[in-house]
Copies of this chain bind each other. A is one copy, B any other.
Amino acid sequence: MVRIDDVAKRAGVSISTVSYALSGKRPVSERTREKIHLAARELGYLPNAGARMLAGRRTHIFALTEPFRSDTHAPSHMAFVLAASIAARRHGYDILLLTDEDSTQGMRRVEASGLVDGIIVLDVSPNDERAELARSSHTPTVFVGVPDNTDGLMCVDLDFAGATASAVDRLAEAGHRKIAMLGHPAGNYETTNYAPRARQGFRDRARELGLEAYFRPLSEAQFAAEDAYRLTLEFLDNGVTGIVLNTEERSHKAVLDAITARGLDVPRDVSLVSVGSIFDTSGFHRAIDSIPLVPEHSCELALQELVDAVEKQHVEPGVRLVTPEYRSYGSVGPHA
């Protein structure tokens, strides 16, 4: 194993100068800096992780806690893990997976052993037990998602209310006066925080604009697509001309099928906007405008917060909402 002394010797300087030259924590003359970097590169030197942790009180590792529940949607979940990991690497941190059945146990463990500099919490539920733990922890922690009680917590999430609101805006601009929203399975309005926020944004903005607006949740997951089909037919038969979708992928297809079944066309007769989807809505037979949930955005912001907290040694609690981004694929047209 190549040690810092090896680099120092080869560059003809002291080990402290090597340390400073590589960390940049103290000015070093251009010439020595180059010599040192060259030597380090030639030797393939990387500081020993353990020594760095011990002496520097910094591990350059973040823990990622993610309870794998039975209802976990694997593709979304993976996208978030991957996005978090990539964002972390960009800041020079590695990700340690915390998969203990009891998620608080893993957090306690890494905290007590000083294994990580910070913790990223995924898959946040409204009354998440990890919230309380984070409050009493000395390890900076960021939530990707929003629990009910956010006191003293750093949270990052998509602005779901803003997203549905701007979907309503878009439909209103196009002249639609009677709109509807298809939501998640009803249970999600109890077990998640984002579903109600999305609904709220829809209702509030529709009221502000004086639109006639209907909201319908789906029933449980396995029947969601059938539900979406049936409810869409209902909407259409009631003269709805703009629909906001906040559902999983299969229901999107079902909605398109229902519209076709009535002999109608998007966007000629009906306009569609998908909100908070993590999949690609431009790939459907009929591409659908989207205000997507982009894991990369949420995670990048979360990591910035976390790195800041770690390196400034001071956490700034608060909920940061990612600004929704409208992606136009031509599924919204003027009201006939």
Chain A interface residues (CB < 8 Å from chain B): 1-2, 44-54, 59, 61, 64, 68, 72, 74-75, 77-78, 81-82, 85-86, 89, 94-97, 99-100, 109-110, 112-115
- Complex partner residue of A99 from B74, B77, B82, CB under 8 angstroms: B82
Question: Which residues on B sit within 8 Å (CB–CB) of A50?
Answer: 49-54, 59, 114
A109 to B45, alpha carbons, bound, how many Å?
10
Question: Which residues on B sit within 8 Å (CB–CB) of A74?
Answer: 74-75, 77-78
Q: Are A100 and B96 in contact (CB under 8 A)?
A: no
* A43 to B, closest residue via Cβ: B112
A-B contact pairs, 10 of them (CB 8 A): A2-B112, A49-B59, A50-B50, A50-B54, A51-B54, A68-B78, A74-B78, A77-B78, A85-B99, A94-B115
* A53 to B, closest residue via Cβ: B50
Q: Are B68 and A114 in contact (CB under 8 A)?
A: no
Q: Are B46 and A112 in contact (CB under 8 A)?
A: yes
Report how many copies the assembly holds. Answer: 2
Q: A48-B54, A49-B53, A49-B115 are in contact. List 11 more A-B contacts (CB 8 A).
A: A45-B112, A49-B50, A49-B113, A50-B53, A51-B53, A53-B53, A82-B99, A85-B97, A85-B99, A86-B99, A94-B115
Question: Which residues on B sit within 8 Å (CB–CB) of A85?
Answer: 97, 99
Q: Are B99 and A96 in contact (CB under 8 A)?
A: no
Task: Kindly provide the distance from the CB of A323 to the nearest chain B CB, expressed in whole angstroms.
Answer: 26
- Complex partner residue of A97 from B97, B110, B114, CB under 8 angstroms: B97
Looking at A53, A95, A96, which has the most chain B CB atoms within 10 Å of its CB? A53
A82 to B52, alpha carbons, bound, how many Å?
29
Q: Are B53 and A109 in contact (CB under 8 A)?
A: no
A95 to B106, alpha carbons, bound, how many Å?
12
Question: Which residues on B sit within 8 Å (CB–CB) of A97?
Answer: 64, 81, 85, 94-97
Q: Are B46 and A109 in contact (CB under 8 A)?
A: yes
Q: Report the 6 A-B pairs with minimum CB-CB distance, sorted nearest first.
A: A50-B53, A50-B54, A74-B75, A46-B112, A49-B115, A46-B113
Task: Kindly provide the distance from the CB of A54 to the nearest chain B CB, expressed in whole angstroms.
Answer: 4
Task: Kindly provide the distance from the CB of A239 to the nearest chain B CB, expressed in whole angstroms.
Answer: 36
With A49-B113, A52-B50 as known contacts, state yes or no: A68 contacts B82, CB within 8 Å.
yes
Question: Which residues on B sit within 8 Å (CB–CB) of A99?
Answer: 82, 85-86, 89, 95
Looking at A48, A59, A81, which has the most chain B CB atoms within 10 Å of its CB? A48
Question: Which residues on B sit within 8 Å (CB–CB) of A77?
Answer: 74, 78
A89 to B105, alpha carbons, bound, how many Å?
12
A44 to B44, alpha carbons, bound, how many Å?
39
Task: Kindly provide the distance from the CB of A47 to the nearest chain B CB, expressed in whole angstroms.
Answer: 7
A50 to B116, alpha carbons, bound, how many Å?
10
* A95 to B, closest residue via Cβ: B97
Task: Kindly provide the distance from the CB of A253 to the nearest chain B CB, expressed in whole angstroms.
Answer: 14
